Amino acid sequence: MNKLYLLCYRLHLELGGLPRIVLNKANILTEKGYDVSIITIEHNNDYKFIEKELKKRNQLNSSVEMINIYDFFEMNNTNLNGKFASKLKNYFKLFTLRKMGYPLREHKHVSKKKYFTKDGFCYLIELFVKNRKLALFYIDRPTGKVFKFKDDLEFQDHFYRKICISNNEKPFLICEGSGPTPTISKVDQEIAYKISNLHSNPYTGPYCFGGPIRNIGVLNNIEKNHAFVTLTENQRKDIIKQLGDFGNVITIPNFVPKRNLLDLEKDPNKISIFTRIAHEKNLEDAIKSFRIVVNKRKNARLEIFGRATLPEEKRELIKIENLIKELNLSNNVFINGYIQNVDVEMTESIVTLLTSKFEGFPMALLESMVNSTPVISYDLNYGPSDAIDHGINGFLVEYGDIESMANFMIILLDDTKKAKKMGELARKKILDFYSDEAVIPVWEKLFRNLTLQE
């Protein structure tokens, strides 16, 4: 069975939607007998600790290996028995580096960032001119060769090649593409089956076909992939209209692992949101809409769950906290931070809200519905209209219509039986179309088709 590599830019312990997608895919495919590794290309994180902690939490299958690009090259160049010798070898490598354009003398506007193994061998040097990265020099200790890369993309392509050719059989390289995840288009098709999976809306405002294309790596040269995967059929059609039909664009939606329903009662006053605190998640509209609800239902509560750890998320959190105070909602709206397990909070909620400006196919939507909790969502691109049957298992609202959203919240707050019935139908929709049992066979069919085409 061919090796599977799932590539994402980063994977932190405070899991957002995309990391949960990647972990779900890795876990289920591993259970089905595939040899799966997750590869990341972010620096400045202890991925060995992250891997250990995810496995400790039972969020990552014990057989799945995490491979970080920097950890990979550090380990390949570590010789714990030769600290002095490694420094001596580095000295002689300076002559090779100089021939490749590496400045030996100090310059006013030139700076360098060096990466060392635990035994003191410098295996990577990043060269900056006026704070702009000009080149990377990789020193391969086992062979004595020095490689120069003009940018991070070339360095990453070298990494992909190294891991792909280490297999006896041609592996699958699946790029789980959001904004910062780079393209795999330059990877030789002879050494890997290349699949790019688009996990976001490809457009800037107004976030629909015809709008400016966002800077998303996987959108570059989609024709050079064996398969390009979109999450919804509408997105597939838009991509083909926008970028061309190369015969390789297919639809495979996100999924949630099938799970038993928790034996918990609905809290008749609880409405929840599950999202990271970010500008594009548009929490302002949810809070303004909830202000209308509280005017009529004084005991209603809006519980917000999600991380706010990155600098831009912290700035957005301050804005949201100020809005809550401005609207006198401090006794009704609560920001709870990140939680590892959303099932309990979702199951206890009467309804959850989704007010993003854009999405790919939001995991919070699928997770709420599989926990028998209906969703009131803006009818945005992409995903909500695929899962939600308006008025049956949830509600779709025109973007910006906070009054209609408030009215639907009040309807479900006033009729718990209706909320439960809609939740039951929501769960059935997910189990039928968006569970691992429904979606993973589509991935396996793609794997079979690609290998048969060889």
**Residue 256 bridge partners (DSSP):** 435
Mean pLDDT computed over every residue of the chain: 93
pLDDT at 262 over 70: yes
Contact by Cβ (8 Å): 405, 397: yes
Angle at 432 between CA 430 and CA 433, to 5 degrees: 70
Reported confidence tier of residue 82, pLDDT bands at 50, 70, 90 = low
Torsion angle in degrees (nearest 10) through CA of 68, 306, 363, 3: 10
pLDDT digits (tens, 9 = 90+) for 197-223: 999 999 998 999 999 999 898 999 999
Q: What is the mean pLDDT of residues 168-180?
A: 90
Distance CA 92, CA 94 (A): 5
pLDDT at 290 over 60: yes
pLDDT at 276 over 70: yes
Q: What is the mean pLDDT of residues 116-142?
A: 90
Instruction: Find the helix or strand (DSSP H, E) in which 418 lies.
Output: helix 416-433
pLDDT at 91: 46
pLDDT at 88: 43
pLDDT at 430: 98
pTM of the model: 0.92
Both structure tokens of 11: 């994977």
pLDDT digits (tens, 9 = 90+) for 221-258: 999 999 999 999 999 999 999 999 999 999 999 999 99
pLDDT at 43: 86
pLDDT digits (tens, 9 = 90+) for 27-48: 999 999 999 999 999 987 899 9
Contact by Cβ (8 Å): 323, 289: no
Please name which of 24, 28, 18, 60 lies closest in space to residue 363, comparing C-alpha atoms: 18
Q: Where in the chain is the domain with CATH 3.40.50.2000?
A: 4-72+170-251, 270-434
pLDDT at 273: 98
pLDDT digits (tens, 9 = 90+) for 46-62: 999 999 999 999 999 99
Reported confidence tier of residue 84, pLDDT bands at 50, 70, 90 = very low
Could you say which DSSP state residue 377 is in?
Answer: E
Q: Does the structural domain 270-434 have CATH classification 3.40.30.10?
A: no
pLDDT at 338: 95
Reported confidence tier of residue 80, pLDDT bands at 50, 70, 90 = low
pLDDT digits (tens, 9 = 90+) for 7-22: 999 999 998 899 999 9
pLDDT at 328: 98
Distance CA 392, CA 328 (A): 33
Reported confidence tier of residue 130, pLDDT bands at 50, 70, 90 = confident
CATH number of this structure's domain 4-72+170-251: 3.40.50.2000
Q: What is the mean pLDDT of residues 286-304?
A: 98
Distance CA 425, CA 384 (A): 15
Distance CA 382, CA 248 (A): 20
DSSP string spanning 173-239?
Answer: EEEEESSSPPP-TTS-TTT-EEEEEE-S--B-TT-STTSPBP--GGGTTGGGSSEEEESSHHHHHHH
Percent of the chain at pLDDT exceeding 70:
94
pLDDT at 165 over 90: yes
pLDDT at 96: 64
pLDDT at 104: 58
Q: What is the mean pLDDT of residues 102-106?
A: 63
Angle between the N-to-C axes of helices 436-452 and 416-433, in degrees from 0 to 180, rounded to the nearest 10: 20
pLDDT at 97: 64
User: Percent helix, strand and coil across the chain, each rounded to 5?
Assistant: 40, 20, 40
Contact by Cβ (8 Å): 253, 434: yes
Reported confidence tier of residue 92, pLDDT bands at 50, 70, 90 = very low
pLDDT at 406 over 90: yes
